[in-house]
Amino acid sequence: KAGVTQTPRYLIKTRGQQVTLSCSPISGHRSVSWYQQTPGQGLQFLFEYFSETQRNKGNFPGRFSGRQFSNSRSEMNVSTLELGDSALYLCASSWPGVAENQETQYFGPGTRLLVL
């Protein structure tokens, strides 16, 4: 099976712009989660989608949003970019996972966003 894919891999934006990141989960997986990784804060959970519904959301401002399509592909959007949004954005897919652990998450390579 192909792994989780994320596009684009690298992105440079300026403050105030908006950005859309895309994630294609492992074939058959229905849950997609997004995480932000920064040197200062580490890995932080953004949100999780399952069957096109957001089931869980982390502690991020409303500028961060996402959606999931009927084919389980997901996008996340960040509006009015700030310098502090520079990070590696990781997507993970799961469910169903291995029989004994349906929620095992498999990560993509990430999208590295630089905000100037």
Partner 1 sequence: GEDVEQSLFLSVREGDSSVINCTYTDSSSTYLYWYKQEPGAGLQLLTYIFSNMDMKQDQRLTVLLNKKDKHLSLRIADTQTGDSAIYFCAETTFGGYSTLTFGKGTMLLVSP
- In the complex, the residues that contact partner 1 under the rule CB under 8 A are 4, 6, 31, 33, 35, 42-43, 45, 48, 50, 55-56, 58, 90, 92, 94-95, 100-101, 103-110
Please enumerate in sequence order all residues whose Cβ is within 8 A of that of 74, keeping only pairs 6 or more positions apart, or say none: 22, 23, 25, 32, 34, 49, 66, 67, 68, 91
C-alpha closest to that of 114 among 28, 12, 7, 3:
12
Nearest CB to partner 1, comparing residues 24 and 105: 105
Q: In the bound complex, what is the minimum distance in angstroms from residue 56's beta carbon to partner 1? A: 4
Beta-carbon neighbour count of residue 8 at 10 Å?
12
Nearest CB to partner 1, comparing residues 56 and 80: 56
Q: In the bound complex, what is the minimum distance in angstroms from residue 55's beta carbon to partner 1? A: 4
